[in-house]
């Protein structure tokens, strides 16, 4: 099968070799430099312990200094998946969301036609550059000089000029032997719908070649010299070479410069990028006349993990920033986000640099803002929250925005960040409570008056069934029940809940949904209702079907907050200790018979210590109410005496 020229290059640009290879290797993060795109790992092609396998993500190549295996992403997939070349291409197409070219004889012919368009574009670049030195381009040269662009900068960005003639470029290219239909297909000329003669698309404009990451010219942008022109800036149309939603101005040079700067700036337009580059910020790109798209974000993240979106400090710039946030939220991954630089009102990068010098831009780049700040300000700007209904509307809007984040960990952290800002906006003593969230409960004389007595704080296990499975279900149900009834406690113990193992699969799933909702639970909304809606059943009804949970005085919605907090802490500690002990015993039982006895006994003692740590918060006087779990020490002793971990022959 014949693939179109440029197809493999485009596919390689849209997939990350480190991401593909990362499924087969474990990266050595001490040796790896993610910012530079240098990844190191033990080689997947031969047995070794050292990290001699190197991936250069910027260039898209891998090399092993041990076995000398080398290649690009296609070769890696072929070797590791045992696929043919075309099968590897098909697999990577699925990864990148691209369609394979049609498998028919016409594909080769279409490929040749597409390749010839690059020749047309390069001839146009040369013609426009030549025109800039002619008599008709005097006003254009004056404009360029007025913007402070040096001759080196003009040459570096291949800036040219299209004179105000109806068929200047068309006639030139036809004289060079190019077919009229090719010129129209390349987007350089317009064919009227009425069948009239084609004419130049770009007239009376300063011309900026748009090149892809490989350096091939795929389109042009033109700035009108006539102040009354309908469009100040004009990009070429969609062609077989150009899709403005998947292209970035200056992406090739910026990608190379970003490796040294370990940063990437996204400006608004051509002149912003050119001014930044001339001032020493060569790692700058720009979208092409539209808001930043999802495909463009993926391109940016293949260069750096946190590109900086630099926008003009006016209303349009702020609207653009907020639109980028909406596009980025569903695409966020751990460590991969955006930073924002909002310039002073009424200024773009060129204005700032010309007025205050490159150092002013460098200073602003040190003070970029997180994406969550832009999201928060968008939701509160110009609004009054003097009523419960208005606050509820804010919560609903923020929950909807955060709900678009697909990664559960990032979604939870966004929820926490929004809650902190909400507390500062509305006041209250929650922030002070958050400062002490990890400190153990302090018992003083006044606290003793409100804390439950030992007899009323009896563990649920004292009333439970005899079998471990029933005890686990009661304990896990109690943890979920108190969290649903007291969302603030759930927020306080969010990290512990995430780490906690659940023996009951259905309750584990309920825990996962609770954590997901918790990230979006900003105010006083019904957390239990949100969890129930996602699960499709009444979670409270299911949990209170267990009598021990339903009747416990310190778990329900009306429980004293201090009592509920004490109950939750104890049950989480108990669950952690028991699971740790069980895991150790299971591991010991599976060890070979030749393991040293002292090591095995040490592991069992550690299991006992973990269990004791989990129960220590109850207090010495309450050990008698623990019930069946007091027999665990005797059980562990018998395990040691009988050497149950030794496999019998």
CB of 321 within 8 A of CB of 374? yes
Dihedral angle sign, alpha carbons of residues 284, 287, 291, 294: negative
**Is 58 strand, coil or helix?**
coil
Q: Shortest CA distance to 98 belongs to which of 18, 15, 16? A: 15
Q: Which residues pair with 484 in a beta bridge?
A: none
What letter does residue 286 receive in the DSSP assignment?
Answer: B
Q: Using the 8-state DSSP alphabet, how is residue 379 labeled?
A: H
In the three-class reduction of DSSP (H, G, I as helix; E, B as strand; rest coil), residue 160 is classed as strand
Q: Buried (b) or exposed (e) across 260-286, using 16+ Cβ within 10 A?
A: ebebbbbbbbbbbbbbbbbbebbbbbb
Confidence class for position 599, pLDDT limits 50, 70, 90: low
Instruction: Label each residue of 218-260 as H, E or C.
Output: EEEEEEECCCCCCCCEEECCCCCCCCHHHCCECHHHHHHHHHH
- Residue 494 is classified by DSSP as H
3-state secondary structure 350-361: HHHHHHHCHHHH
Strands 339-342, 369-370: parallel, antiparallel or unpaired by DSSP? antiparallel
Q: Which residue has the higher pLDDT, 443 or 173?
A: 173
Burial of 98 (0-12, 13-18, 19+ CB in 10 A): middle
Note the pLDDT tens digit of each residue in 190-209. 999 887 899 999 999 999 99
Residue 227 pLDDT exceeds 60: yes
Domain locations in the chain as residue ranges: 7-96, 106-242, 450-642
pLDDT at 440: 32
Question: How many residues are listed for the chain in this entry?
Answer: 649
pLDDT at 35 exceeding the cut of 90: no
What is the mean predicted confidence (pLDDT) over 332-338?
90
In degrees and rounded to multiples of 5, residue 223 shows phi and psi of -100, 125
CB count within 10 Å of CB 529 equals 14
Q: What is residue 522's predicted lDDT score, i.e. its pLDDT?
A: 60
pLDDT of residue 646: 45
Between the two ends of the chain, the Cα-to-Cα distance in Å is 61
Between 20 and 527, where is the model more confident? 20
Phi, psi (5° rounding) for residue 342? -100, 115
Q: Is 172 left (phi over 0), alpha (psi -120 to 50) or beta?
A: alpha
Look at residue 551 and give its three-state secondary structure.
Answer: helix
Among left, alpha and beta (phi > 0; psi -120 to 50; other), residue 417 is alpha
Tokens 């930073």 sit at which residue?
339
Q: Mind listing the pLDDT tens digit for each residue in 246-279?
A: 899 999 899 888 877 889 999 988 999 999 999 9
Higher pLDDT, 99 or 192: 192
Residue 226: closest CA among 200, 201, 203, 209: 203
- Of all residues in the chain, the percent with pLDDT exceeding 90 is 35
Q: Which residues contact 353 (CB under 8 A, 6 or more apart)?
A: 275, 276, 279, 360, 361
Average pLDDT, the chain: 80
Count helices and strands (H / E) in the chain.
30, 15
Distance of alpha carbon 107 from alpha carbon 545, whole angstroms = 65
pLDDT above 60 (res 453):
no
**H or E element: which one contains 62?**
strand 61-64
469-525 residue pLDDT tens: 788 889 899 999 999 988 888 888 887 888 888 989 899 999 988 888 876 666 556
Alpha-carbon dihedral 327, 328, 329, 334, rounded to 10 degrees: 160
Main-chain phi, psi angles of 54, to 5 degrees:
-120, 130
Q: Is the pLDDT of residue 451 over 60?
A: no
Average pLDDT over residues 340-348: 87
**Is the predicted pLDDT of residue 537 greater than 80, yes or no?**
yes
Mean pLDDT within 336-355: 89
Tokens 């389109």 sit at which residue? 219
* Mean pLDDT lowest among 150-164, 258-272, 449-463, 584-598: 449-463
pLDDT in tens, 366-424: 999 999 999 999 999 888 888 888 988 898 899 889 989 988 889 888 988 998 888 88
Tell me 188's DSSP state.
S
Q: What is the CATH number of domain 106-242?
A: 3.90.980.10
* Positive or negative torsion for Cα 165, 168, 171, 174: negative
Q: Is the pLDDT of residue 33 over 70?
A: yes
pLDDT for the residue numbered 490 = 86
Percent of the chain with pLDDT strictly greater than 70 = 79
Let me know the angle formed at the C-alpha of 362 by 369 and 355, rounded to the nearest 5 degrees.
110
Q: DSSP secondary structure string, 93-128?
A: HHHHT-PPPPSSTHHHHHHHHHHHHHHHHHHHHHHH
Separation between Cα atoms, residue 555 and residue 478, nearest integer Å:
7
> CA-CA distance, 210 to 201, in Å (whole number)?
15
The C-alpha atoms of residue 231 and residue 233 are separated, in whole angstroms, by 5
3-state helix, strand, coil in the chain (%, to 5): 55, 10, 35
CB 489, CB 430: distance < 8 Å:
no
Mean pLDDT of 322-341: 92
Under the banding of pLDDT at 50, 70 and 90, the label for residue 87 is confident
pLDDT band at 442 (very low <50, low <70, confident <90, very high): very low
What dihedral angle (degrees, nearest 10) is formed by the CA atoms of 397, 400, 401, 404? 180
CB–CB of 112/240 below 8 Å?
no
Q: In the numeric block, which tokens belong to residue 184?
A: 């129209």
Task: Residue 298: count other Cβ atoms within 10 Å of its Cβ.
Answer: 17
pLDDT at 438 over 80: no
pLDDT at 590: 58
The CATH class of the 7-96 domain is: alpha beta
Task: Provide the pLDDT confidence category of residue 115 given band limits of 50, 70 and 90.
Answer: low
Residue 31 scores a pLDDT above 80? yes
- Are residues 285 and 250 in contact, defined by beta-carbon separation less than 8 angstroms? yes
């Amino acid at each position: 099968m014949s693939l179109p020229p440029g197809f493999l290059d485009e596919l390689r640009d849209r997939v990350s070799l480190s991401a593909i290879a990362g499924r087969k290797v474990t990266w050595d993060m001490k040796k790896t430099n993610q910012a530079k795109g240098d990844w190191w790992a033990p080689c997947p092609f031969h047995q070794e312990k050292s990290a001699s396998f190197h991936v250069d993500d910027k260039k898209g190549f891998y090399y092993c200094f041990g076995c000398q295996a080398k290649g690009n992403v296609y070769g890696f997939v072929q070797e590791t998946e045992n696929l043919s070349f075309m099968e590897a291409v098909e697999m990577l197409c699925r990864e990148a969301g691209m369609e394979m070219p049609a498998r028919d004889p016409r594909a080769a012919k279409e490929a040749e036609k597409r390749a010839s368009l690059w020749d047309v574009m390069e001839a146009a670049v040369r013609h426009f550059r030549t025109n800039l030195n002619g008599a008709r381009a005097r006003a254009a040269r004056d404009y360029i000089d007025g913007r402070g662009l040096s001759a080196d900068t003009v040459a570096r960005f291949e800036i040219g000029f299209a004179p105000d003639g109806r068929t200047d470029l068309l006639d030139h290219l036809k004289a060079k032997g190019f077919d009229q239909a090719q010129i129209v297909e390349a987007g350089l000329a317009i064919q009227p719908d009425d069948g009239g003669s084609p004419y130049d698309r770009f007239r009376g404009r300063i011309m900026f070649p748009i090149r892809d990451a490989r350096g091939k010219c795929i389109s042009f942008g033109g700035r009108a010299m006539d102040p009354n022109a309908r469009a100040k800036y004009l990009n070429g149309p969609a062609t077989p070479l150009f899709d403005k939603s998947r292209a970035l101005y200056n992406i090739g040079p910026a990608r190379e410069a970003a490796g040294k700067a370990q940063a990437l700036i996204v400006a608004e337009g051509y002149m912003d990028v050119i001014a930044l580059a001339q001032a020493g910020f060569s790692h700058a790109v720009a979208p092409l006349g539209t808001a930043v798209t999802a495909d463009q974000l993926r391109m940016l993240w293949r260069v750096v993990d946190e590109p900086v979106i630099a926008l003009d400090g006016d209303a349009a710039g702020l609207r653009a920033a907020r639109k980028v946030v909406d596009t980025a939220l569903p695409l966020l991954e751990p460590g991969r986000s955006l930073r924002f630089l909002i310039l002073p009102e009424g200024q773009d990068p060129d204005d700032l640099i010309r007025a205050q010098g490159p150092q002013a831009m460098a200073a602003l780049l040190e003070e970029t803002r997180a994406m969550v700040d832009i999201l928060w300000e968008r939701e509160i700007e110009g609004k009054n929250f003097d009523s419960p209904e208005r606050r509820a509307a804010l919560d609903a809007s923020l929950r909807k925005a955060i709900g678009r984040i697909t990664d559960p960990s990032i979604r939870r952290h966004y929820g926490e960040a929004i809650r902190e800002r909400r507390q500062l906006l509305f006041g209250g003593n929650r922030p002070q409570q958050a400062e002490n969230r990890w400190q153990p409960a302090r018992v003083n004389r006044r606290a003793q008056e409100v804390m439950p007595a030992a007899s009323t704080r009896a563990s649920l296990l004292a009333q439970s069934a005899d079998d471990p499975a029933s005890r686990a279900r009661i304990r896990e149900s109690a943890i979920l029940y108190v969290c649903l009834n007291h969302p603030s406690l759930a927020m306080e113990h969010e990290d512990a809940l995430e780490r906690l193992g659940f023996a009951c699969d259905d309750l584990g799933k309920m825990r996962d949904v609770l954590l997901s909702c918790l990230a979006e639970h900003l105010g006083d909304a019904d957390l239990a209702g949100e969890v129930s809606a996602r699960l499709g059943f009444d979670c409270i009804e299911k949990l209170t079907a267990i009598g021990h949970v339903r009747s416990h005085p310190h778990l329900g919605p009306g429980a004293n907050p201090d009592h509920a907090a004490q109950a939750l802490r104890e049950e989480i500690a108990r669950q952690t200790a028991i699971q740790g002990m069980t895991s150790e015993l299971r591991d010991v039982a599976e060890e070979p018979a030749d393991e040293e006895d002292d090591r095995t006994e040490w592991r069992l003692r550690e299991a006992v210590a973990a269990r004791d740590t989990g129960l220590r918060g109850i207090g010495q006087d309450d050990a008698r109410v623990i019930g069946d779990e007091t027999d665990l020490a005797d059980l562990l002793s018998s395990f040691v005496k009988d050497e149950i971990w030794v496999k019998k022959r």
